[in-house]
C-alpha cells in the first residue's frame, strides 16, 4: 500500500485495517520518500505504521540522493527523480504485483476516467488502450509475471467524503492540516513554510510567523499554505466548504499545463 502520510492515505489505511480485522492487512506500507517532506509527516508515518502493526518500507532514490537533487535547484527534476523514478524503483525492487494508491476521481479532470484496477505493463507504463473494462464490481486482477496493477479503492470518494469520514472515525492526520503559528515566507504568490534549516532564504527574506494550515501535503518547499485560524477538524471542514478555490491550487506541480497529470501518469507518477 502506497502510503504518502496525507489525509487520503490515512483514510485508505484505516479502511484496510477495518477490512482485514481482526487480522492485520497482509501487505506492507511503502513510503516513497524524497527526504524533503515536512517533519511532522515523518512523525505520523512511523506512528501510524506501528499502530497498524504493519511493516513500513521506506524508499529513497539512491541516484537522487547521490546527485543531491533538491527542490531549490532542480525544479521539476526534483519530482521526476524522487517521486516518479523513486516509485518505479521501489515497486520493481519489491516485485509487487499490485499497489494500492489513494487517488480519487474527483481530484482532477484527467482522473475522471481512471480505472479502480489500473493495469501497468512490465515496464510500468500506463497504456490507456490496455485498460480493462470494469463492469459491476467485478475486477480482473489477472496479470503476467512482471506486469502490475495499481488499485485505487478511494476512486469514488469526494474530498468532502474524506473529511467527513476522518471526523466520523476519529482518524489521526498530520497536524499541519490544522492552523497554527508557523514560520513562513511569501514567494511567487505562495506561502511557504520554513520547516528546517535547509530552506534557502533569498537575500532580504525573513521568515514571518503566520497562522497557516495546509490543504495538501508534499515536499515542504513546494507546498503552499493558506492563512487560516481553523485549528479543529470541524473548523477546517467548514473553511474548506466555505472557500471558493479548489483543493489542488496549492500544489506547485499543477502550475504546468492543464494536462500535466495525464503526462505524469503515463510516466508512472501514480
Nearer to other proteins, 208 or 259 (CB): 259
Give the shortest CB-35-to-other proteins separation in angstroms: 31
Nearer to other proteins, 40 or 171 (CB): 171
Q: Which residues of the chain form contacts with other proteins (CB under 8 A)? A: 17-24, 105-106, 109-110, 112-113, 128-129, 131-138, 140, 142-144, 155-156, 158, 160-161, 164, 167-168, 234-235, 237-238, 241-246, 249, 258-259, 262
Nearer to other proteins, 98 or 235 (CB): 235
Give the shortest CB-158-to-other proteins separation in angstroms: 5
Give the shortest CB-1-to-other proteins separation in angstroms: 16
Nearer to other proteins, 46 or 161 (CB): 161
Give the shortest CB-201-to-other proteins separation in angstroms: 29
Size of the chain, expressed as the number of residues it contains: 270
Nearer to other proteins, 93 or 258 (CB): 258
Amino acid at each position: 500500500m502506497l502510503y504518502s502520510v496525507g489525509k487520503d492515505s490515512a483514510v485508505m489505511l484505516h479502511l484496510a485495517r477495518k477490512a482485514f480485522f481482526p487480522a492485520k492487512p497482509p501487505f506492507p506500507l511503502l513510503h516513497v520518500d524524497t527526504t524533503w517532506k515536512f517533519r511532522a509527516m515523518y512523525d505520523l508515518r512511523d506512528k501510524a505504521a506501528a499502530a497498524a502493526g504493519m511493516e513500513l518500507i521506506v524508499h529513497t532514490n539512491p541516484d537522487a540522493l547521490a546527485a543531491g537533487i533538491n527542490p531549490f535547484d532542480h525544479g521539476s527534476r526534483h519530482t521526476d527523480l524522487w517521486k516518479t523514478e523513486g516509485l518505479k524503483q521501489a515497486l520493481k525492487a519489491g516485485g509487487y504485483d499490485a499497489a494500492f494508491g489513494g487517488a480519487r476521481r474527483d481530484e482532477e479532470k484527467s482522473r475522471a476516467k481512471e480505472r479502480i484496477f489500473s493495469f501497468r505493463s512490465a515496464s510500468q507504463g500506463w497504456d490507456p488502450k490496455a485498460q480493462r473494462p470494469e463492469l459491476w464490481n467485478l475486477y480482473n486482477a489477472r496479470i503476467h509475471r512482471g506486469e502490475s496493477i495499481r488499485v485505487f479503492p478511494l476512486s469514488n470518494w469526494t474530498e468532502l467524503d474524506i473529511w467527513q469520514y476522518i471526523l466520523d472515525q476519529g482518524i489521526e492526520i498530520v497536524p499541519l492540516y490544522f492552523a497554527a503559528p508557523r514560520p513562513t515566507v511569501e514567494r511567487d504568490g505562495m506561502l511557504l513554510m520554513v520547516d528546517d534549516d535547509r530552506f534557502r532564504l533569498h537575500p532580504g527574506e525573513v521568515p514571518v510567523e503566520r497562522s497557516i494550515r495546509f490543504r495538501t501535503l508534499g515536499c515542504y518547499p513546494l507546498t503552499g499554505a493558506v492563512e487560516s485560524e481553523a485549528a479543529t477538524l470541524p473548523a477546517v471542514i467548514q473553511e474548506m466548504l466555505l472557500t471558493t478555490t479548489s483543493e489542488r491550487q496549492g500544489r506547485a506541480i499543477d502550475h504546468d499545463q492543464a494536462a500535466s497529470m495525464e503526462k505524469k501518469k503515463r510516466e508512472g507518477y501514480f
